[in-house]
């Protein structure tokens, strides 16, 4: 804390000033905050486990052998260096062999399996049908960009122009690393830029994408084919290992019409150039240091201001977590997560759900029919705490101790196929979207579940040795936050079953929108960095969840401590410690370059406003710190949605 600051003037400085001073950003990080620091502690812990499993090969079970050997292969930097760009060659050869547009679907189908992301022209995967959440269907989405957002290609300010120039130079350097002469590399980078800019123009903005109706265009194969007449989807599906499909959600049809224009108007050489760049970018981190460093130089150093590359062990632990996360997660959970902790968290979660029930029942602005539906949705929410009931089976992923890139490729293929295999099948409600060591949490509107991995239920966030006040402020606030996501601008559009279905009366929807607008108007006045303000249309869901979450946590804490005589500690009242406990998860230091990236891409407001923007709306805070009207942490016009 910074006790020299006045909590009624700048509560964030008061609670986080000491942390910010004592925790400068490490040279390999774009930002530093309480979550990331705990994430690094978890990583270090996993490093110890993995090193042991990599060295002592006797007595390991099959799962331990898999992650141990994977880690050993990843850490063998000399072997990686020796291979240079060789692991890319099979892909580049296939791209080079492309002779006509007719062959493009088959080529893309196989390259998409090998990359498992949306970097090559578009994304293709599986997700729940918005209109029938029990079924999984194919999703064809936008993609194909090398910069973090469409706006990077289209904005006209000096900083955006500067980043585009640096990106162009980076793409050219990557072509040079692939063997192109400097002139050709420049020209090729230029062509990539032109194609990506065309795709960026045809993509929806992040704010537009908050509206699920804008992303829901269910069609049959004929409908999809009509968007891209020159691209034979049967060939694509065959190459991706899929049998005939006839149900697709094309999230952005206009994007696919632009794809057709690009594929039709560009030369085969241009298409090959574009594919070479994206395959190289996709694989860069797996190749020799020339590629790793060039990739780091643009995406971390120039874009986010990071001075130094992360040491190899951190990159390898992160890769195991990404590719074999539920195998590594078993090791983590067995050591760092107890059944008692699970029970305590569940207890707190149920109290917060009860608080939301009371809150909904007491709302003056909502009519009975909508309340009934809201309560039905609330009661249907599934609480997932710690780790999945059933661990993912990685049995078919072959891992070799001396084949780092091969291991990564096989695990990527496993994940691509696993995702595609869900299509046409009923939903697996037990699946998790985060691995157990992850320091984060989420709500999924289609699953209608809240998820708290073991990694986030640890000190200094949840501390079993501390009393209720800071724990309810901190972890309670997080649980309330995820719960409130079920009822934010996006979540409220899905019903109890996770279907996109309007269950609001027209009047109640208007009441909600007016209240959300209060938050939008409040947060748009806050500055992220330099002249850039918060894009509060983008952050409104998170800002609504922050406020609603802490109100619920407060109610739950009052229930928990009813009738108890709570003592002051460290010169603070229990109420003050509740708010300090909340605010201290949000302490952060951030680099200005990275703040710019966040302003454009991150739906979360900066930590400072997740604290100060919230407490000004809570009369309980004003009272706890005896703040006076007119002071900065007292708002004249309080917002409240939930
Ligand atoms: Zn959130």
pLDDT digits (tens, 9 = 90+) for 285-314: 999 999 999 999 999 999 999 999 999 999
Query: Cβ(602)–Cβ(33) under 8 Å?
Result: no
Predicted pLDDT at 58: 94
* Separation of CA 434 and ligand 1 centre (Å): 14
* Separation of CA 339 and ligand 1 centre (Å): 26
Average pLDDT over residues 535-559: 98
* Separation of CA 270 and ligand 1 centre (Å): 40
Mapping DSSP to helix (H, G, I), strand (E, B) and coil, where does residue 569 land? strand
Task: Indicate the average pLDDT of the chain.
Answer: 97
Which bin fits 505, alpha (ψ -120 to 50), beta or left (φ > 0)?
beta
* Separation of CA 486 and ligand 1 centre (Å): 10
* Separation of CA 298 and ligand 1 centre (Å): 29
Q: Model confidence over 320-376: pLDDT tens digits?
A: 999 999 999 999 999 999 999 999 999 999 999 999 999 999 999 999 999 999 999
| Statement: residue 57 has pLDDT above 90 | no
pLDDT bucket at 388, cuts 50 / 70 / 90:
very high
pLDDT bucket at 128, cuts 50 / 70 / 90:
very high
Predicted pLDDT at 608: 98
Burial of 329 (0-12, 13-18, 19+ CB in 10 A): buried
Instruction: Find where tokens 């704010």 sit.
Output: 207
Tokens of 462: 């949840």
Q: What percent of the chain clears pLDDT 90, i.e. is strictly above it? A: 99
| Statement: residue 244 has pLDDT above 90 | no
Average pLDDT over residues 7-33: 98
| Statement: residue 251 has pLDDT above 90 | yes
* Separation of CA 435 and ligand 1 centre (Å): 17
* Separation of CA 631 and ligand 1 centre (Å): 29
pLDDT bucket at 243, cuts 50 / 70 / 90:
confident
Predicted pLDDT at 499: 98
Q: What angle (nearest 5°) sits at the alpha carbon of residue 150, between those of residues 144 and 152?
A: 115
Q: Model confidence over 206-217: pLDDT tens digits?
A: 999 999 999 999
Residues 6+ apart with CB under 8 A from 378: 353, 356, 357, 360, 483, 486
* Separation of CA 482 and ligand 1 centre (Å): 6
DSSP character for 299? I
* Separation of CA 215 and ligand 1 centre (Å): 20
pTM assigned to the model = 0.96
């Amino acid at each position: 804390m910074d006790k020299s600051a006045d909590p009624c003037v700048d509560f964030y400085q008061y609670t986080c000033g000491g942390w910010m001073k004592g925790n400068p950003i490490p040279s390999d990080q774009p930002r530093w905050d309480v979550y990331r620091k705990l994430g690094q502690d978890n990583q270090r812990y996993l490093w110890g486990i993995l090193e042991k499993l990599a060295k002592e090969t006797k007595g390991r079970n099959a799962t331990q052998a898999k992650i141990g050997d994977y880690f050993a292969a990843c850490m063998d930097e000399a072997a990686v260096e020796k291979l240079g760009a060789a692991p890319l060659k099979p892909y580049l050869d296939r791209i080079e062999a492309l002779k006509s547009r007719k062959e493009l679907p088959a080529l893309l189908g196989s390259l998409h399996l090998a990359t498992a992301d949306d970097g090559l022209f578009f994304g293709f995967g599986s997700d729940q049908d918005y209109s029938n959440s029990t079924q999984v269907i194919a999703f064809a989405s936008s993609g194909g960009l090398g910069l973090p957002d469409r706006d990077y290609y289209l904005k006209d300010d000096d900083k955006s122009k500067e980043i585009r120039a640096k990106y162009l130079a980076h793409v050219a350097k990557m072509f040079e690393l692939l063997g192109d002469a400097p002139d050709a590399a420049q020209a090729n980078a230029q062509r990539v830029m032109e194609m990506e800019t065309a795709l960026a123009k045809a993509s929806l903005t992040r704010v537009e994408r908050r509206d699920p109706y804008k992303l829901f265009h269910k069609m049959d194969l004929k409908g999809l084919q009509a968007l891209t007449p020159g691209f034979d989807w049967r060939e694509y599906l065959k190459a991706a290992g899929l049998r005939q499909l006839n149900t697709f959600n094309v999230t952005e049809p206009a994007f696919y019409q632009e794809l057709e224009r690009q594929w039709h108007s560009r030369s085969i050489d241009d298409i090959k150039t574009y594919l070479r760049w994206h395959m190289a970018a996709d694989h860069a981190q797996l190749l020799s240091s020339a590629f790793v460093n060039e990739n780091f130089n643009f995406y971390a150093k120039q874009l986010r201001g990071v001075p130094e590359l992360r040491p190899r062990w951190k990159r390898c632990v992160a890769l195991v977590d990404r590719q074999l996360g539920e195998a590594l997660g078993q090791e983590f959970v067995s050591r760092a997560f107890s059944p008692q902790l699970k029970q305590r968290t569940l207890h707190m979660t149920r109290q917060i759900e009860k608080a939301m029930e009371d809150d909904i029942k007491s709302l003056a602005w909502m009519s009975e029919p909508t309340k009934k539906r809201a309560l039905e949705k609330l009661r249907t929410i599934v609480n997932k705490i710690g780790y999945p009931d059933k661990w993912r089976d990685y049995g078919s992923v072959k891992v070799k101790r001396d084949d780092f890139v091969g291991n990564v490729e096989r695990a990527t293929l496993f994940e691509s196929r696993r995702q595609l295999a869900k299509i046409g099948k009923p939903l697996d409600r037990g699946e998790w979207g985060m691995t157990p060591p992850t320091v984060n949490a989420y709500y999924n509107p289609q699953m209608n579940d809240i998820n708290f991995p073991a990694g986030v239920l640890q000190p200094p966030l949840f501390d079993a040795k501390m009393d209720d006040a800071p724990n309810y402020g901190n972890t309670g606030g997080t649980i309330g936050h995820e719960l409130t996501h079920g009822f934010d601008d996006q979540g409220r559009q899905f019903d109890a079953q996770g279907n996109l279905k309007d269950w609001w009366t027209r009047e109640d929807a208007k009441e909600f929108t007016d209240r959300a607008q209060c938050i939008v108007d409040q947060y748009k006045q806050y500055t992220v960095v330099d002249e850039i303000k918060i894009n509060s249309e983008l952050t409104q869901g998170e800002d609504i969840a922050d406020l609603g979450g802490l109100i619920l946590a407060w109610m739950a804490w009052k229930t928990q401590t009813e009738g108890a005589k709570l003592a002051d500690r460290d010169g603070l009242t229990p109420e003050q410690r509740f708010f300090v406990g909340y605010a201290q998860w949000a302490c952060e230091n951030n680099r200005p370059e990275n703040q710019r990236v966040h302003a454009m891409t991150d739906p979360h407001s900066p930590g400072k406003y997740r604290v100060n923007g919230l407490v000004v709306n809570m009369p309980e805070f004003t009272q706890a710190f005896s703040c006076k009207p007119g002071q900065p942490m007292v708002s004249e016009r309080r917002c409240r949605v939930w």
